[in-house]
Amino acid sequence: MATAQVGVVIVGAGPAGLVLGNLLLDRGIDCVILERRDRAAVEGRARAGFLAAHSVRVLTEHGLSAGLLARGKTHTTCLFRSDRGEFTLDYGKSGLGEPHTVYPQQELVRDLIAEYLRRGGEIRFGAEAEEVAGEAAGEAAEGRVRVRGGADVTGRYVAGCDGHRGIGRAALTAHGTRTARRDHGVSWLAVLVAAPPSLEAVGYALHERGFAGHMARTAAVTRYYLQCPRGTAPADWSEDRIWTELATRLRTAEFGPLRHGAVLEKAVVDLRSDVLESPGAGRLWLAGDAAGLISPSAAKGANLAILQAELLARALEGALAHGDGTGLARYAADCLPRVWRAHEFSHWMSGLLHGPAGEEDEARYGRALQYARLESLRTSRTHQDFFAENYTGI
Ligand code: RFL
């Protein structure tokens, strides 16, 4: 049994699915979003916080930026610390860099849901898509999504915006789409604390015990990262251990204390990246983490999700409103070069931030390269311009 066909069935109400849904409604294309979690869970999920200028432009052009413009904070600098001291990199000053807007992802998601509903969109929370019918990636005339415990939902197209473990990706790979992937071999303990930021800007600390990061979120909440051994469990990290390790790696004895607060959340993130060689076929198209996962080392994931949602909305409009499939045929060529450039920079950042693995001699060599890269960034205007362009661009 199937419910009436819509233009686009979107699976997943994260940044990719919600931006896509809003942009499709803007273009007069009907859609339904299926989201397996309930609304409170989706609106409470703290993840990203750094929006590139391109993302802010897309959201603003489509009337989706009122919240972030009112409550987001603009950042144009970041800071690096190591045993050689600290320096601030003013990437906003480079002609090639643009400001970031710091706005927690869960607040953006909240805004996007409210606006989608205000525009008359339909979203079904607690609706878990079990499968996209296999032929969707082939010659099928429609896309069909099987919903756990409910009727199938069919659409002229299906947009898989359901993250990197989603069923959209599974259907495409089952149809023969290959994936390029890398395990960076590094894990981070991601901690959210109820305390104001301790630094003016983002802070990256290189330390022989491993990387530590400080990311502002709001006036009352700050995110910290600690590089940790693969396989570590969040439960291994007591509040005391977290603060001690942060103090050591962020060198508070030298540079001043951190503002403490209760640990609200702790999770281990294994740094992995992958990209599908083609983000769609036939009736099934992917955007966001579903099309490729990027390690969080350069804060690109949510920004790529917004970029892909924008490109996919345009392509689907061409197909549905004008019977013109060239946008979909070009979707991979439009987004993959930009996706790969973001991956290249994330990989570069990962090399800068993380101590090397391997035997003692190799580790010594790797660490010396890490510091040579940091020193080049501190002193070379050309290197700073490279950083600014790639750190803020998308
Ligand atoms: P999401 O956000 O994972 O949303 C997918 C949605 O699909 C739903 N879903 C399903 N619904 C129905 N049926 C199914 N079968 C379903 N399977 C899944 C899920 O419940 C969910 O609601 O993917 P999307 O939209 O592609 O967005 C991607 C971003 O969320 C992600 O790339 C970023 O959060 C990555 N990221 C960061 N990106 C940045 O640009 N800047 C940052 O500063 C940044 N920090 C981060 C991050 C990711 C982190 N984690 C948790 C890996 C910090 C962290 C700690």
Q: pLDDT 10s digit of each residue in the chain, 394 long? A: 555 589 999 999 999 999 999 999 999 999 999 999 999 999 999 888 899 999 999 999 999 999 999 999 999 999 999 999 999 999 988 888 899 999 999 999 999 999 999 999 999 999 999 999 877 777 788 999 999 999 999 999 999 999 999 999 999 999 999 999 999 999 999 999 999 999 988 999 999 999 999 998 889 999 999 999 999 999 999 999 999 999 999 999 999 999 999 999 999 999 999 999 999 999 999 999 999 999 999 999 999 999 999 999 999 999 999 999 999 999 999 999 999 999 999 999 999 999 777 678 888 898 999 999 999 999 999 999 999 999 998 8
Taking the alpha carbons at both ends of the chain, their separation in whole angstroms is 42
Residue 3 has a pLDDT of: 54
Q: Is 35 near ligand 1, meaning CB less than 6 Å away?
A: yes
The neighbour count for residue 354, using CB atoms within 10 Å, is: 20
Q: Is 250 near ligand 1, meaning CB less than 6 Å away?
A: no
Tell the residue nearest (CA) to atom 47 of ligand 1: 48
Rounded distance from Cα 42 to ligand 1 centre (Å): 10
Residue 5 has a pLDDT of: 81
CA distances (Å), origin 37, targets 13, 144, 151: 9, 20, 18
Q: In what order do the strands lie in the sheet with 212-216?
A: 85-90, 77-82, 202-205, 212-216, 222-228, 179-193, 263-276, 292-293
List the chain domain ranges: 6-76+99-181+272-347
Q: Is 301 near ligand 1, meaning CB less than 6 Å away?
A: yes
Q: Which atom of ligand 1 is nearest to the CA of 167?
A: 15
Residues designated as active site: 75, 204, 296, 300, 391
Question: How far is 63 from 119, CA to CA, in rounded Å?
Answer: 11
Residue 95 has a pLDDT of: 83
CA distances (Å), origin 291, targets 2, 99, 192, 328, 340: 27, 26, 27, 14, 12
**Per-residue model confidence as pLDDT tens digits over 112-131:** 999 999 999 999 999 999 99
Residue 4 has a pLDDT of: 59
Residue 323 has a pLDDT of: 96
- Find the angle CA(345)-CA(351)-CA(354) to the nearest 5 degrees: 130
Rounded distance from Cα 369 to ligand 1 centre (Å): 33
Q: Specify the 3-state DSSP secondary structure of 13.
A: coil
8 A C-beta contact, residue 245 and residue 135: no
Kindly report the pTM of this predicted structure.
0.95
For 260, left (φ over 0), alpha (ψ -120 to 50), or beta?
beta
Q: What is residue 152's DSSP assignment?
A: B
8 A C-beta contact, residue 160 and residue 12: yes
Q: Specify the 3-state DSSP secondary structure of 162.
A: coil
Question: How far is 256 from 301, CA to CA, in rounded Å?
Answer: 31
- Taking the mean position of all CA atoms in its chain, how far away is CA 26? 24
Residue 271 has a pLDDT of: 96
Tell the residue nearest (CA) to atom 51 of ligand 1: 47
Q: Specify the 3-state DSSP secondary structure of 5.
A: coil
Q: Six-digit token pair at 273?
A: 């990246």
Q: Is 307 near ligand 1, meaning CB less than 6 Å away?
A: no
The residue whose CB lies within 8 Å of the most ligand 1 atoms, and thus the one to mutate among 34, 35, 36, 47, is 47
- The residue type at 264: L
Beta pairing partners, 8: 31, 157
DSSP line for 307-354: HHHHHHHHHHHHHHHH--THHHHHHHHHHHHHHHHHHHHHHHHHHHHS
Residue 268 has a pLDDT of: 97
Please state which architecture CATH assigns to domain 6-76+99-181+272-347.
Answer: 3-Layer(bba) Sandwich (3.50)
Question: How far is 300 from 50, CA to CA, in rounded Å?
Answer: 8
